Chain A
Amino acid sequence: MTPLSSSYRAALSMAAKDALVRRRRPQQLPGRTVVVHDHEISAELAARYARMFHRNGPVLDPTDLPSVLVHVASFPAAMELMADPDFPLPLLGMVHLRNHVVHHAPVPAGTPVEVAASATRLSPHPSGTTVDLVVTVHGPARVNRRVDDSVNGPTGGTGELQLLWEGTSTYLAAGVHLPAHERPATAGHPPFTAPQLTAQWRLPASTGREYAAVSGDFNPIHLNPVTAKLLGQKGMIAHGMYLAGRMLAGREPAGAGHEWEISFATPVLLPGTVSLGVVHADHCNAEVTTEVTAWNGRTGRPHFTGSITVPGSGPGQRSGPG
């Protein structure tokens, strides 16, 4: 898989070229799907990822990797699409709006998986155009090892592949309005009311650089306040997926089967302190949804909202007190 840094480099040079030759980008999404076979998420990467959240997260289980790590390891496939000259939206300046992941089954480290990435839903947005990048991860079907190992023999090999993980990342190309699309009216933001404070994250200035070192996402807006400002940010900002990873740390059920999403409102400036409110909502004992809201305690402006839904019968993280 192409590393993210080379995708950025390619995108940069293409942006320069485009500006030079005033090339017009295509209006449609590429129909192709980027497929990477036998992709392995290394145990070493998993360990480095786990270290970032070691104060909050669970002990790393190399047979059941965290969702955001799977995203980190598979998203370069989507990047390949986005960095392609045929992609209708310019990669640079794209804003990450939302992520939605269904984590069907555990994704193991050190085991070949198949990663597929495609782009869908090119849609108009009051501020530009959005696109969904869908990445799926398939792996060897995992039967219940504890019971059937000796009967069925080792799994994997040429056996059937099962969908383990699928993630949809929604990006906005701000200021890019495709002619085919009607520009929707600007929807007024509903007034934000912070829920009850249950936690606080103090994010040091190094947060972006640390996450970049693990994820390979060396977008300059995360690394250095000067480069961030040059690229139009108010300052160095946290990676959206770092925030997602931190939100999920310690909240993902063992054995997967959960679903989560995160929607970004305003960026988190680094260094900075994020206020959080976590609310648990039970749905008839079937599943439990945890809703997370993050905001700036000083300005009162929201940073993101997220939710995690885990199957109720699964091995829950905690049971009630008493």
Chain B
Amino acid sequence: MTEKTSPTSANISAAPQDSPRIAAGQPAIAGGEVRQAVIIGGNRTPFARSHGAYAQATNKDLLTSALNGLIARFGLQGERIGEVAAGAVIKHSKDFNLTRESVLGTSLDPATPAHEVQIACATGMEAIGGLANKIRLGQLDSAIGGGVDSISDAPIVFNDAARAVLMELNRARTTQDRIKAVLKFRPGHLAPEAPGTEEPRTGLSMGEHQARTTHQWGITRQAQDELALASHHHLAAAYDRGFFDDLVTPFGKLTRDNNLRADTTLEKLGKLKPAFGRFLGDEATMTAGNSTPLTDGASTVLLGSEEWAAERGLPVLADFVDFETGAVDFVDGKEGLLMAPAYALSRLLQRQGLSLQDFDYYEIHEAFAGTVLSTLKAWEDEDFCRDQLGLDAPLGAIDRSKLNVNGSSLAAGHPFAATGGRITATLATMLHEKGPGSLGLISVCAAGGQGIVAIVRGR
């Protein structure tokens, strides 16, 4: 095992003299120049359909494994990383310090701080974006962002009524009070509540919400199935040519995402019955094939300043340029639940002075095929861009051959908080292959009518 050094008062006080950052100039937070935050690389576990290959694994197991793979890939044993930020959308309350606990289970220096982030399916993006900003400001030299989710490890909670009785029991001081509390138990109290993917304010699942959006934008079943097919074929091809050799470390018995169906066809996808939007009757188009399944998995991305990477001989794949979070009023159906990225993008492009066509690759998270296609259609739609985005002209169409070229969530699966890390590391690798200055766009929708878009530039 690597020797781990714990900070002593001696080396804390010695730090300022040793720190190259201070010597090199003021960090932006102290009045200096803003610097680049670079993406060094990533690592994730293969993603597994829930209640399957990872049924016995906890969120902590998965996140620790993803961190271990990253540490091994980049030789970070014993390294004090500036900060590790990750999160899980669905986690047990006992895992309040999930990321820190995971860090302590690795060979990173135990003096590496960690915190939790959570913005539903965009958790990974928020973790990475926030850390990138700290690096740009000079608050951090290195960071690891990521996320994990395991529906298989989801907490089962008592329903509200049972909880009320239990809390009363807990507060009871006398035996009499305790008996009184216990007598309040009813058989119905034992029915546990499993966490769902329902929106609390509407009671509708994400799929039902998207079914309405998909229908409103007139996205056909055929178009959705074609997108799903492309996702599977692209992901399989990427695995076959070793694209993921430096991005995925196996976990347990899995070496690839087990939702991947390399041999699926339009005919097979076409045979599936609609799974969402049954209220639409014959016009329902969303199936289990063109929607992501519940998935378990974890991902991590290593970020740093250029100097930090250079000092350690670490690769620089890309710059994390900027990101923007959006939210829409979906509650009474004014806007689709998963359409927030469409709004956030307009602001991000404006800020960076870019057009939608300036990108070499587009990574639009495939929560549902309908989400991707609705978003693309909205950007092409004159009325939407004028009325909702306040633009003179639509953002326009993208070159579809640049979309999700190494597959996305429909094939890989979607462990909510892990998707941002998967996409960021994948895109950074693609942009690095493409060459310096190449641009990539990330769009990730999230529950609660939110979403994050981000720009990554190849190095």
| Contact, chains A and B (beta carbon distance below 8 A) | yes
User: Which residues of A does B touch, CB under 8 Å?
Assistant: 55-56, 194, 196-202, 205-206, 210, 250, 275, 277-280, 290, 297, 318-322
> Of B188, B328, B331, B388, which is in contact with the most chain A CB atoms at under 10 Å from its CB?
B331
Q: List residues 315-370 of chain B with CB under 8 A from any CB of chain A.
A: 327-329, 331-335, 343
Is B140 at the interface (CB under 8 A from chain A)?
no
Is A322's CB under 8 angstroms from B390's CB? yes
Please measure, in the bound complex, the distance between the C-alpha atom of A243 and the C-alpha atom of B188, giving whole angstroms: 22
Is A321's CB under 8 angstroms from B188's CB? no
Is A199's CB under 8 angstroms from B200's CB? no
B32-40, B201-209, B417-425: which lies at the interface? B201-209
Task: List, in ascending order, chain B residues with CB within 8 A of A210's CB.
Answer: 161
Is B388's CB under 8 angstroms from A322's CB? yes
B216 to chain A: closest residue by CB: A196
Is B202's CB under 8 angstroms from A200's CB? yes
Task: List, in ascending order, chain B residues with CB within 8 A of A280's CB.
Answer: 332, 334
Is B329's CB under 8 angstroms from A318's CB? yes
Is B100 at the interface (CB under 8 A from chain A)?
no
Is B335's CB under 8 angstroms from A199's CB? no
Query: B203 touches which one: A202, A290, A322 (CB < 8 A)?
Result: A202
> Of A199, A202, A250, A277, which is in contact with the most chain B CB atoms at under 10 Å from its CB?
A199
Please measure, in the bound complex, the distance between the C-alpha atom of A318 and the C-alpha atom of B204, giving whole angstroms: 20
Is B343's CB under 8 angstroms from A321's CB? yes
Is B328's CB under 8 angstroms from A321's CB? yes
Task: List, in ascending order, chain A residues with CB within 8 A of B188's CB.
Answer: 205-206
Please measure, in the bound complex, the distance between the C-alpha atom of A297 and the C-alpha atom of B188, giving whole angstroms: 25
Query: A56 touches which one: B201, B208, B327, B333 (CB < 8 A)?
Result: B201
Is B331's CB under 8 angstroms from A321's CB? no
A198 to chain B: closest residue by CB: B333
A277 to chain B: closest residue by CB: B333
What is the CB-to-nearest-CB distance from B409 to chain A, in angstroms, rounded to a whole number? 24
A278-B333 contact given A55-B200, A56-B201, A250-B201, CB 8 Å threshold: yes
Is B329's CB under 8 angstroms from A321's CB? yes
What is the CB-to-nearest-CB distance from B165 to chain A, in angstroms, rounded to a whole number? 13
What is the CB-to-nearest-CB distance from B343 to chain A, in angstroms, rounded to a whole number? 6
Q: Which 5 A-B pairs have the closest CB atoms?
A: A198-B333, A278-B332, A199-B202, A200-B203, A321-B328
B332 to chain A: closest residue by CB: A278
Is A321's CB under 8 angstroms from B334's CB? yes
Task: List, in ascending order, chain A residues with CB within 8 A of B414's CB.
Answer: none
Is A197's CB under 8 angstroms from B390's CB? no
A198-B335 contact given A275-B279, A321-B388, A322-B388, CB 8 Å threshold: no
Task: List, in ascending order, chain B residues with CB within 8 A of A279's CB.
Answer: 332
14 further A-B pairs in the complex, CB-CB below 8 A; given A197-B279, A198-B332, A278-B332: A55-B200, A198-B331, A199-B203, A199-B332, A202-B203, A205-B188, A278-B333, A280-B332, A290-B332, A297-B279, A318-B331, A319-B329, A320-B329, A321-B327
Task: List, in ascending order, chain B residues with CB within 8 A of A196's CB.
Answer: 212, 333
Query: B204 touches which one: A55, A197, A321 (CB < 8 A)?
Result: A197
Is B298 at the interface (CB under 8 A from chain A)?
no
Total contacts A-B at CB 8 Å: 59
Please measure, in the bound complex, the distance between the C-alpha atom of A250 and the C-alpha atom of B202, giving whole angstroms: 12
> Of A56, A197, A275, which is in contact with the most chain B CB atoms at under 10 Å from its CB?
A197
A200 to chain B: closest residue by CB: B203
> Of B200, B202, B212, B335, which is in contact with the most chain A CB atoms at under 10 Å from its CB?
B202
Interface size classification for chain B: 20 to 34
User: Which residues of B does A touch, CB under 8 Å?
Assistant: 161, 188, 200-204, 208, 212, 279, 327-329, 331-335, 343, 388-390
What is the CB-to-nearest-CB distance from A202 to chain B, in angstroms, rounded to a whole number? 6
Task: List, in ascending order, chain A residues with CB within 8 A of B204's CB.
Answer: 197-200
Task: List, in ascending order, chain A residues with CB within 8 A of B328's CB.
Answer: 321
Is A201's CB under 8 angstroms from B203's CB? yes
What is the CB-to-nearest-CB distance from B344 to chain A, in angstroms, rounded to a whole number? 11
Is A198's CB under 8 angstroms from B329's CB? no
- 12 CB contacts below 8 A, A to B, read A196-B333, A197-B208, A197-B279, A198-B332, A199-B202, A199-B203, A199-B204, A206-B188, A278-B333, A321-B329, A322-B389, A322-B390
Query: B334 touches which one: A199, A202, A250, A320 (CB < 8 A)?
Result: A320
Is A200's CB under 8 angstroms from B208's CB? yes
B160 to chain A: closest residue by CB: A51
Please measure, in the bound complex, the distance between the C-alpha atom of A218 and the C-alpha atom of B111, giving whole angstroms: 60
A195 to chain B: closest residue by CB: B333
Please measure, in the bound complex, the distance between the C-alpha atom of A107 and the C-alpha atom of B236, giving whole angstroms: 63
Task: List, in ascending order, chain A residues with CB within 8 A of B161's CB.
Answer: 206, 210
Task: List, in ascending order, chain B residues with CB within 8 A of A205's CB.
Answer: 188
Query: A198 touches which one: B202, B327, B390 (CB < 8 A)?
Result: B202
B340 to chain A: closest residue by CB: A321
Please measure, in the bound complex, the distance between the C-alpha atom of A275 and the C-alpha atom of B188, giving whole angstroms: 24
Task: List, in ascending order, chain A residues with CB within 8 A of B279's CB.
Answer: 194, 197, 275, 297
What is the CB-to-nearest-CB distance from A204 to chain B, in angstroms, rounded to a whole number? 8
Is A321's CB under 8 angstroms from B203's CB? no
Please measure, in the bound complex, the distance between the C-alpha atom of A280 and the C-alpha atom of B331, giving whole angstroms: 11
A56-B343 contact given A197-B212, A318-B329, CB 8 Å threshold: no
What is the CB-to-nearest-CB distance from B37 to chain A, in angstroms, rounded to a whole number? 29
Task: List, in ascending order, chain A residues with CB within 8 A of B208's CB.
Answer: 197, 200
Please measure, in the bound complex, the distance between the C-alpha atom of A206 and the C-alpha atom of B186, giving whole angstroms: 11
Please measure, in the bound complex, the distance between the C-alpha atom of A39 and the C-alpha atom of B378, giving whole angstroms: 55
Please measure, in the bound complex, the distance between the C-alpha atom of A56 and the C-alpha atom of B198, giving whole angstroms: 13
Task: List, in ascending order, chain B residues with CB within 8 A of A56's CB.
Answer: 200-201
What is the CB-to-nearest-CB distance from A55 to chain B, in angstroms, rounded to a whole number? 5
Please measure, in the bound complex, the distance between the C-alpha atom of A321 and the C-alpha atom of B337, giving whole angstroms: 12
Is B343's CB under 8 angstroms from A322's CB? yes
Please measure, in the bound complex, the distance between the C-alpha atom of A200 and the C-alpha atom of B332, giving whole angstroms: 11
B347 to chain A: closest residue by CB: A322
What is the CB-to-nearest-CB distance from B164 to chain A, in angstroms, rounded to a whole number? 9
Please measure, in the bound complex, the distance between the C-alpha atom of A239 and the C-alpha atom of B328, giving whole angstroms: 33
Task: List, in ascending order, chain A residues with CB within 8 A of B327's CB.
Answer: 321
> Of A278, A290, A297, which is in contact with the most chain B CB atoms at under 10 Å from its CB?
A278
Task: List, in ascending order, chain A residues with CB within 8 A of B389's CB.
Answer: 322
A196 to chain B: closest residue by CB: B333
B205 to chain A: closest residue by CB: A200
Please measure, in the bound complex, the distance between the C-alpha atom of A275 and the C-alpha atom of B279, giving whole angstroms: 10
Task: List, in ascending order, chain B residues with CB within 8 A of A200's CB.
Answer: 202-204, 208
Please measure, in the bound complex, the distance between the C-alpha atom of A94 and the C-alpha atom of B201, giving whole angstroms: 33
What is the CB-to-nearest-CB distance from A215 to chain B, in angstroms, rounded to a whole number? 17
What is the CB-to-nearest-CB distance from A198 to chain B, in angstroms, rounded to a whole number? 4
Please measure, in the bound complex, the distance between the C-alpha atom of A277 and the C-alpha atom of B333, giving whole angstroms: 8
Please measure, in the bound complex, the distance between the C-alpha atom of A201 and the C-alpha atom of B201, giving whole angstroms: 9
Task: List, in ascending order, chain B residues with CB within 8 A of A318's CB.
Answer: 329, 331
Task: List, in ascending order, chain B residues with CB within 8 A of A297's CB.
Answer: 279
Please measure, in the bound complex, the distance between the C-alpha atom of A278 and the C-alpha atom of B328, giving whole angstroms: 16
> Of B208, B334, B343, which is in contact with the most chain A CB atoms at under 10 Å from its CB?
B334
What is the CB-to-nearest-CB distance from B32 to chain A, in angstroms, rounded to a whole number? 36
